[in-house]
Amino acid sequence: MKEYDLIVVGELNVDLILNNIEKTPEVGKEVFARDMTLTLGSSSAIFANNVSVLGTRTTFFGKIGDDSYADLVFNSLQKSGVNTDYIIKTKTHKTGITVAMSYAEERAMITYPGAMSVMSADDVSDGLLMKGKHMHVSSIFLQEALLPTVHLLFKRAKSLGLTTSLDPQWDPHENWDVDLEVLLPYVDVFLPNEGELMAMTDSTTIDAGIKKILAWSNHVVVKQGVDGATLYSGDKELHFPAFLNRKLVDAIGAGDSFNSGFINAFIKGYPVERCLELGTIMGAVNTTAQGGTGAFVSLDVVREAAKEQFDFDYIID
């Protein structure tokens, strides 16, 4: 029996979310936002938070500053049951922050990466990896010290018997400097959104992008916002439409919440078709409350949102 179902290796930061912005800001001028939240940010942490709420025994490995933003991150993760013993506080770098300006379903973001940029694959010990069944990594392009050897981390995790997943997230430099042919064979579930897939494969359509990577891939799940998600594995292709949310709050973190529904089920051994459905419902649940974690207060609250807003019975053991 492993101590953890899941080890999340990734970046940690806080989000300052500005909502109800009256108009697009311009340099030299000022605009009002009529709502704001300071909350747990970063794709990896939102994923860890939500997957833990769904019942996955989760530990986190990452680097963070020694400051009050770190306290917010630790408190949020611990409240949701995520183990934080392996998070390293560094005095050399501050905790990162993302400022998100939200316009309906899209948003403009500025990230100060801070401590997340100094964590490397070598920092993750075999001893820690051996404590978990599954490793998830997110946002590799934000983690500059991790990116060059991330394939070695995945290779090590696989050789130690873990299953693995990767959400690449956007590359702010748009260099997409990763060799998918080397990396993807060690990734059991690859979870890009459609824009990331096309950019990473230098393709103009999802189909063309999938064609380029399918031979190196295990399961690829392409997230398509309000159009749902599509799973590709071998010659199997399965689309699942999004659940329509008539009372959308915001879609921040919908991708991470999708990942949490998918991976929670994947670790439990559910067929990938069912994982796809459970990812899609969690992406939708995410949009019923503010930010990436607002809807994931407890399993009961998640179940209630799934039932009341989408008529979906979320039952999983």
Ligand X SMILES: Nc1ncnc2c1ncn2[C@@H]1O[C@H](COP(=O)(O)OP(=O)(O)OP(=O)(O)O)[C@@H](O)[C@H]1O
Stretch that binds ligand X, among 94-102, 149-157, 247-255, 293-301 (CB under 6 A): 247-255
**Could you tell me the sign of the dihedral formed by the alpha carbons of 135, 128, 98, 114, in that order?**
negative
Give the three-class secondary structure for 49: helix
Stretch that binds ligand X, among 3-11, 125-133, 200-208, 217-225 (CB under 6 A): 217-225
Footprint of ligand X on residues 149-208 (CB under 6 A)? 169, 193
Stretch that binds ligand X, among 76-84, 144-152, 241-249, 300-308 (CB under 6 A): 241-249
Q: Across the strands, what pairs with 170?
A: none
H or E element that contains 176: none
Give dist(CA 242, CA 27) in Å, integer.
37
Say if strands 88-90 and 33-41 run parallel, antiparallel, or are unpaired: unpaired
Q: Which of 116, 162, 242, 263 binds ligand X (CB under 6 A)?
A: 242
The yes or no reply on residue 13 touching ligand X (CB under 6 A) is no
H or E element that contains 59: strand 58-61
Is 257 within 8 Å of 46 (Cβ atoms)?
A: yes
Give dist(CA 22, CA 269) in Å, integer.
46
- Which residue, 183 or 254, is less far from Mg ion as judged by CB? 254
Q: How far is the CB of 43 from ligand X (least distance, A)?
A: 6
Which residues lie below 8 Å from residue 206, measured CB to CB, with a gap of 6+?
A: 194, 197, 198, 222, 224, 230
- Which residue, 80 or 139, is less far from Mg ion as judged by CB? 139
Binding mask 282-311 for ligand X (x = CB under 6 A): -xx--x------------------------
Cβ–Cβ contacts within 10 Å for residue 108, how many? 13
The yes or no reply on residue 254 touching ligand X (CB under 6 A) is yes
- Which residue, 8 or 70, is less far from Mg ion as judged by CB? 8
Footprint of ligand X on residues 52-111 (CB under 6 A)? 105
Is 281 within 8 Å of 244 (Cβ atoms)?
A: no
- Which residue, 86 or 240, is less far from ligand X as judged by CB? 240
| Binding partner at 228 among ligand X, Mg ion, none, C-beta below 5 to 8 Å by kind | ligand X
- Output the CA–CA distances (angstroms, integers) from residue 280 to 191, 224, 231, in the order listed: 12, 10, 11
- Which residue, 114 or 253, is less far from ligand X as judged by CB? 253
Binding site for Mg ion (CB under 5 A): 193, 255
| Binding partner at 294 among Mg ion, ligand X, none, C-beta below 5 to 8 Å by kind | none
Q: How far is the CB of 166 from ligand X (least distance, A)?
A: 12
| Binding partner at 118 among Mg ion, ligand X, none, C-beta below 5 to 8 Å by kind | none
- Residue entry with tokens 């599509």: 230
| Binding partner at 141 among Mg ion, ligand X, none, C-beta below 5 to 8 Å by kind | none
Q: What is the DSSP letter of 317?
A: -
Q: Which of 130, 152, 238, 248 binds ligand X (CB under 6 A)?
A: 248
